[in-house]
C-alpha cells in the first residue's frame, strides 16, 4: 500500500452533533439548537427540521421545553472527552477532526472577549489529544452560527458576520495555533445552497432578496470571511495549514450522449466552483454567467477580489459519500449539485438511506481535484450510516462498515499511486453521534457505539464495534492489512 509514513489516519466529528452540553459553561444557543427532531414517519410526510421558516421558529421558541432537539445533547463529548480520546488513541488515530463551537466561545457572537470556560475546555481537549500523540484537525465552523446572530442579522446574509467571524477566527489562531496546526474554515460550504438555514444560519423567507440571491450573497460573505482568516493565519501563524471543506459530488453522464456529458460537466463545475474561489482565489467566469442568467445580483464586498486572491487555502478537504448520474433528458433532468438524488446508477448499490456506494468515484474525484488545483487533498469525511444495535451478547458486528471503508481506502491507495498528494483520511462519525441530514441517532457511522436513542434515552456508554479492531489494524499496518476482522 502506498500510504506515506506521515499519513493522517483518524476520524471526524462536529461540535453541534457530538459535543452536547448546550447550556454548560455559559455557552450561547446556536442556530443548530433550533433544528428539531421528526420521526421517520413524519419525515416521510415531508416534515423536515432543517426547513426553518419564521413561523416555525416562532413555534419552536414558544414550546422550546417540550420539543426534542437532539443536537443539544449530541453524544456528550463535552463531559466524556477523556474517555473518547483514549478510545481514539487505542485505535491508533494520528489525527482527530473536531470543530469548535463558536457559541461556546462567543455566546451571542458579538462579545469582544471569549468565555473563559469555553477557552479552557478546548485547551483541555487539545492537551489530551497531544498527550495521546493525536494531531487535531479543527473546523472553525461546522454548521454553526450563534443563534443571536440568526435573529439579529439573519445570519450570513449580513456582511456584519464577516467582522464577527473574523474576530472569532483571529482569536482561534492567536490562542490555539501552538496546539493546532491543521484548520478548516467552513464545513461543507456548498451546502448553504440547498440548506440555507443549516449552512448560513439564515431564514430565506426573512430576506428581501429572492432565495437564490440571498443564498449567494451569504456565500459571498463566507468566501470573504474565509479568505481573510486564511491570510491572517498565514501572516501570524505560518506553521499552520488552513484548508477549505466542501461536499464533493462526483457526477457521471448517464449515457455517452454528448448532451449528458455536457450536463455532467456543468454540474461538476457548479460543485467545484467553491474550490475555484477558495483555492484559486477568484470567481470563475462560468459562475458569473450563472449569476447573469439567473438574475443573481450580489452586493460585492469592497476589495473582495484582492481579499480572495490573498487568502487561498493550503489544501483541499472534502466529504465524499456518493456519486450521482446526470442526464440532459428534460423529463428526468435534475440538479445533483443540490443533492437531489432521484436518478439511480444501475452499476452501484445503495445504502438504506439511498446513498450510492461508489469507491471508484473517490479515486476519480481525487484525481480531478489534484489535476485542477495541484495542492494536497484531505478526505475529511467518508463513511456509511447504518441502523444497527448490539447483539444479545452486547457486540456490534459491522462487516458492512469494514467492506465499505476497505473499498474506499483501496481507492485512496489507487489515487496515491496515480500521483495524487493525499494528506489524510478521517471517516465521519468515528464515534456515533447525531445525524446531520435526519437529526437522528439511528443513523450510525461510528467505530464506537454509543448507547443513546433519538429521544435521548440510554446510558450514553461507549463500546467498541468490530470495525474498531479492524480500523486499529488498518492504521497499525499503515493501510497494508485491510482484511476483515474476526474475533
Residues involved in catalysis = 188, 381
> Is residue 428 within the footprint of ligand BG6 (CB under 6 A)?
yes
CA 380 to chain centre: 8
> Is residue 435 within the footprint of ligand BG6 (CB under 6 A)?
yes
- Residue 48 beta carbon to ligand BG6: minimum distance, rounded to whole angstroms: 12
Nearest CB to ligand BG6, comparing residues 268 and 381: 381
> Is residue 351 within the footprint of ligand BG6 (CB under 6 A)?
no
The residue among 386, 366, 378, 359 whose CA lies nearest residue 482 is 359
Nearest CB to ligand BG6, comparing residues 200 and 385: 385
- Residue 283 beta carbon to ligand BG6: minimum distance, rounded to whole angstroms: 24
- Residue 69 beta carbon to ligand BG6: minimum distance, rounded to whole angstroms: 16
According to DSSP, residue 25 is labeled G
Nearest CB to ligand BG6, comparing residues 284 and 437: 437
Contact 87, 130 (CB under 8 A): no
- Contacts for 37-45: CB closer than 8 Å, 24+ residues apart: 37/67, 37/68, 37/69, 37/70, 37/439, 37/440, 37/454, 38/439, 39/454, 40/438, 40/440, 40/442, 43/438
CA distance 124 to 102: 17
CA distance 395 to 464: 8
CA distance 176 to 43: 41
> Is residue 436 within the footprint of ligand BG6 (CB under 6 A)?
yes
- Residue 376 beta carbon to ligand BG6: minimum distance, rounded to whole angstroms: 20
Nearest CB to ligand BG6, comparing residues 191 and 214: 191
- Residue 139 beta carbon to ligand BG6: minimum distance, rounded to whole angstroms: 9
> Which residues 353-412 are close enough to bind ligand BG6 by CB under 6 A?
381, 385
> Is residue 319 within the footprint of ligand BG6 (CB under 6 A)?
yes
> Is residue 432 within the footprint of ligand BG6 (CB under 6 A)?
no
Nearest CB to ligand BG6, comparing residues 387 and 481: 387
**C-alpha to C-alpha distances, 450 to 24, 393, 396, 436, nearest whole angstrom:** 21, 16, 11, 16
Residue span binding ligand BG6 (CB under 6 A) among the ranges 329-337, 338-346, 430-438, 470-478:
430-438
**C-alpha to C-alpha distances, 487 to 404, 420, 467, 468, 479, nearest whole angstrom:** 19, 35, 11, 12, 20
Say if strands 135-141 and 95-99 run parallel, antiparallel, or are unpaired: parallel
**C-alpha to C-alpha distances, 301 to 201, 207, 220, 305, nearest whole angstrom:** 20, 18, 8, 9
Helices 77-91/116-131 angle, 10° precision: 20
Helices 399-418/466-476 angle, 10° precision: 20
- Residue 4 beta carbon to ligand BG6: minimum distance, rounded to whole angstroms: 26
Residue span binding ligand BG6 (CB under 6 A) among the ranges 296-304, 339-347, 428-436, 465-473:
428-436
Nearest CB to ligand BG6, comparing residues 159 and 437: 437
Residue span binding ligand BG6 (CB under 6 A) among the ranges 213-221, 386-394, 410-418, 432-440:
432-440
Phi, psi of 398 (to 5 degrees): -130, 60
> Is residue 267 within the footprint of ligand BG6 (CB under 6 A)?
no
Count of residues near ligand BG6 by CB under 6 A:
14
> Is residue 450 within the footprint of ligand BG6 (CB under 6 A)?
no
> Which residues 181-240 are close enough to bind ligand BG6 by CB under 6 A?
187-188
- Residue 37 beta carbon to ligand BG6: minimum distance, rounded to whole angstroms: 13
Could you tell me which residues are beta bridge partners of residue 379? 318, 425
Nearest CB to ligand BG6, comparing residues 150 and 187: 187
> Which residues 13-32 are close enough to bind ligand BG6 by CB under 6 A?
14, 17
**Residue ranges binding ligand BG6 (CB under 6 A):** 14, 17, 187-188, 247, 319, 381, 385, 428, 435-438, 443
Amino acid at each position: 500500500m502506498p500510504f506515506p509514513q506521515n499519513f493522517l489516519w483518524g476520524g471526524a466529528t462536529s461540535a453541534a452533533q457530538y459535543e452536547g452540553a448546550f447550556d454548560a459553561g455559559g455557552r450561547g444557543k446556536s442556530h443548530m439548537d433550533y433544528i428539531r427532531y421528526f420521526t421517520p414517519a413524519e419525515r416521510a410526510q415531508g416534515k423536515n427540521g432543517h426547513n426553518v421558516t419564521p413561523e416555525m421558529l416562532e413555534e419552536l421558541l414558544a414550546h422550546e421545553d417540550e420539543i426534542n432537539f437532539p443536537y443539544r445533547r449530541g453524544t456528550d463529548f463535552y463531559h466524556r472527552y477523556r474517555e473518547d480520546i483514549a478510545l481514539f488513541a487505542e485505535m491508533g488515530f494520528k489525527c482527530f477532526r473536531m470543530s469548535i463551537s463558536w457559541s461556546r466561545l462567543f455566546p451571542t457572537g458579538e462579545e469582544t472577549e471569549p468565555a473563559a470556560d469555553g477557552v479552557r475546555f478546548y485547551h483541555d481537549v487539545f492537551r489530551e489529544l497531544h498527550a495521546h500523540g493525536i494531531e487535531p484537525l479543527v473546523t472553525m465552523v461546522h454548521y454553526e452560527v450563534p443563534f443571536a446572530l440568526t435573529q439579529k442579522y439573519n445570519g450570513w446574509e449580513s456582511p456584519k458576520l464577516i467582522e464577527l467571524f473574523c474576530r472569532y477566527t483571529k482569536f482561534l489562531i492567536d490562542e490555539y495555533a501552538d496546539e493546532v496546526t491543521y484548520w478548516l474554515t467552513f464545513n461543507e460550504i456548498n451546502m448553504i445552497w440547498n440548506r440555507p438555514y443549516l449552512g448560513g444560519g439564515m431564514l430565506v423567507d426573512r430576506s428581501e432578496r429572492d432565495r437564490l440571491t440571498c443564498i449567494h450573497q451569504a456565500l459571498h460573505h463566507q468566501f470573504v470571511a474565509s479568505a481573510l482568516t486564511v491570510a491572517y493565519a498565514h501572516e501570524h501563524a505560518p506553521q499552520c495549514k488552513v484548508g477549505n471543506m466542501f461536499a464533493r459530488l462526483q457526477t457521471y453522464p448517464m449515457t455517452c450522449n454528448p448532451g449528458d456529458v455536457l450536463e455532467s460537466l456543468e454540474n461538476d463545475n457548479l460543485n467545484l466552483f467553491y474550490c475555484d474561489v477558495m483555492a484559486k482565489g477568484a470567481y470563475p467566469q462560468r459562475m458569473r454567467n450563472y449569476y447573469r442568467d439567473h438574475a443573481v445580483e450580489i452586493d460585492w464586498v469592497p476589495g473582495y477580489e484582492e481579499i480572495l486572491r490573498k487568502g487561498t487555502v493550503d489544501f483541499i478537504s472534502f466529504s465524499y459519500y456518493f456519486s450521482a448520474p446526470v442526464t440532459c433528458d428534460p423529463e428526468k433532468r435534475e440538479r445533483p449539485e443540490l443533492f437531489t438524488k432521484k436518478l439511480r446508477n444501475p452499476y452501484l448499490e445503495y445504502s438504506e438511506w439511498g446513498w450510492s456506494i461508489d469507491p471508484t468515484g473517490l479515486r476519480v474525484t481525487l484525481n480531478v481535484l489534484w489535476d485542477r488545483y495541484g495542492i494536497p487533498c484531505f478526505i475529511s469525511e467518508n463513511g456509511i450510516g447504518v441502523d444497527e444495535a448490539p447483539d444479545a451478547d452486547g457486540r456490534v458486528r459491522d462487516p458492512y462498515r469494514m467492506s465499505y471503508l476497505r473499498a474506499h481506502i483501496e481507492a485512496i491507495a489507487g489515487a496515491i499511486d496515480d500521483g495524487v498528494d493525499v494528506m489524510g483520511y478521517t471517516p465521519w462519525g468515528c464515534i456515533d453521534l447525531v445525524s446531520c441530514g435526519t437529526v437522528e441517532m439511528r443513523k450510525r457511522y461510528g467505530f464506537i457505539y454509543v448507547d443513546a436513542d433519538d429521544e435521548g434515552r440510554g446510558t450514553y456508554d461507549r463500546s467498541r464495534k468490530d470495525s474498531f479492531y479492524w480500523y486499529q489494524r488498518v492504521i497499525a499496518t499503515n493501510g497494508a492489512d485491510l482484511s476483515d476482522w474476526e474475533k
